Chain A
Amino acid sequence: MSSVSNAAKPVDLDKPKAKNKKRSQWAEVWRRLKKNKMAMVGLAIIGAIVFCAIFADVIADYDSVVIKQNLKARMEGPSAEHILGTDEFGRDIFARMVHGARVSLQVGLIAVGLAIGIGGSLGAIAGYYGGRLDNIIMRCMDVFLAIPSILLAIAIVSALGPSLFNLMLAIGISSVPSYARIVRASVLSIRDQEFIEAARAIGANDFRIITKHIIPNALAPVIVQATLGVAGAILSTAGLSFIGMGIQPPAPEWGAMLSGGRQYLRYAAHITAFPGVAIMITILALNLLGDGLRDALDPRLKS
């Protein structure tokens, strides 16, 4: 005859794991991410930049404001009319920066998308089938990794010519090996687990196994890498444009704007300073988000 007290809340030391539906798993990740204030700040900043990119034409008309030169108003500092001043051709810097956001995001997303598509597939195949195929693919990746990625991108752009498309291609290709590695590692870690055996036993073919079971498990590290990858792609774009290997003038690109203002550093530093700050804030936001995602997706914290 035991009396029931109202106080004790027993700690479940061996609670049988409740079946986690995929939906609630992602909800849990989102909840953890929300707790991370810095990551939320990063997300907000990125949101603002995406907004600029999408509505760039509304904020500043391309032909009349962004490209059109106005030599009478060259290199003016920040003023009421031009919030961030004008560049060496008299164009409004703020407007150019807003359009530059569009360019940067475009290249970032498409380059990373390309890299995930190609690299992810290669990594999944290499990890899943193993053996010689794995060996060959990873040796190829090693060769690519031996070339510093910026140099590889430079080589590709120099061969194919500088254009938006070639830039995306070059940066995308140079990012392929890291995604191949990540996906391969994920695949290897679950390939030999029993539920894969079970799936095969009920007749699922390889393609189905790869897409339905293996890829969802590889998603977490890929997402983190992709966030940081977009940051890297934006940096590379700016760098390549800086040395003239990227978007050609008069198209507005942050790195190219930096390059253009370089010779006027002494008199009109703002032409160089502001686009650089834009790059920095974007990369910072992406890094904050990426770090936050990494923490939120950490398997050690999964209940």
Chain B
Amino acid sequence: MLKYIGRRLLMLIPVLLGVTFIVFSIMYMTPGDPAQLILGESAPPEAVAELRADMGLDDPFIVQYGRFVKNAVQGDFGKSYTTKRDVFSEIFARFPNTLKLAGVGVALAIAIGIPVGIISATRQYSVLDNVSMIGALLGVSMPNFWLGLMLILFFSVNLGVLPSSGSGTFLHIILPAITLGTGSAAIITRMTRSSMLEVIRQDFIRTARAKGVAEKKVINKHALKNALIPVITVIGLQFGYLLGGAVLTETVFSWPGVGRLLVEAIRAKDTPTVLASVVFMATTFSFVNLLVDVLYAYVDPRIKSQYQ
């Protein structure tokens, strides 16, 4: 098992390298002169040229990329064009907030999605099933930033019970987490339901009943263990979706995370920050997926025995 984990970690390196290459290439195409941006409009051309040389902006693409990777590995992502502060520490300061938000969001999504999915499957076509399927459909169709605004309208503006921005207390995370987690909850509900429906039709469920196993145990022990296996993969993918969605949610709720940092950096054309933020999120996503794959291999004995 450890060998499997080790091998996957090793395979992560070229992927992350590829990610940095793609993102760097994209940002490289940004028009405009960073040196000019830093020094301002009125700076004399010689000073700009000197800064350009200093920053190595006249070097060929490959050289610049190589330098970026070399520094990145050491944790140096350069300095923000706008705040002039070290990019890495800026991101690192905000990253826990984004993780917290995504974490609570995914936890909420699982806590709602899986039980509702199970109940819908076991009571197929009932009122409960129909209601939750409609709910799931709506959840998937709602733009999450709009949901956030509507929640603010209802709970903050009209009812005044929950804060609409900032962070700090437990109350502050409720609305953003709901906003972020709703879409995922809907997807997890549907996935769990369809997986359960498929598993319940399997022959071994009939065997369990023929053995005299109580129906509750048939569902919760025999069926569930099998049904959750594909759901795990979906949850992993959802995390990536959440990291992306955090950008919008953090904007709506002025949540001090990497997402909001990213949006501001784009507006200010602060390339190093944009670059570093995206690479950061992609790296996190990759590790989460790795975790999910390992979990999957661990939980499904058919896969587990391949790696032992």
A residues with CB within 8 A of B: 139-140, 142-144, 146-152, 154-156, 158-161, 231, 235, 238-239, 242-245, 255, 258, 262, 265-266, 269, 272-273, 275-276, 279-281, 283-284, 287-288
Contacts and interface: CB of A to CB of B under 8 A. Distances in A.
Nearest to B275: A155
Contacts of A143: 15, 18-19, 22
A146 B286 contact: yes
Interface in B14-39: 14-16, 18-19, 22-23, 26-31
Contact of B245 (A147, A150, A160): A150
Contacts of A150: 244-245, 247-248
29 contacts: A139-B14, A140-B18, A142-B18, A147-B19, A147-B23, A147-B278, A148-B240, A148-B243, A151-B247, A151-B282, A152-B22, A154-B247, A155-B27, A158-B27, A158-B266, A159-B26, A231-B141, A243-B263, A244-B267, A265-B149, A272-B146, A272-B149, A275-B146, A276-B142, A276-B149, A279-B143, A281-B141, A283-B141, A284-B137
Contacts of B121: none
A155 B262 CA distance: 10
Given A151-B243, A154-B262, A258 B149 contact: yes
Nearest to A148: B244
A258 B15 contact: no
Interface in B245-266: 245, 247-248, 251-252, 262-263, 266
Contacts of A151: 243-244, 247, 262, 278, 281-282
Contacts of A245: 266
A143 B247 CA distance: 21
A231 B137 CA distance: 13
Contacts of A269: 153
A155 B278 CA distance: 8
Contact of A146 (B29, B146, B266, B285): B285
Given A147-B281, A155-B27, A265-B153, 5 more contacts: A158-B27, A160-B30, A244-B263, A244-B267, A283-B142
Closest 3 A-B residue pairs measured CB to CB?
A: A143-B18, A148-B244, A276-B146
B141 to A, nearest CB: 4
B241 interface: yes
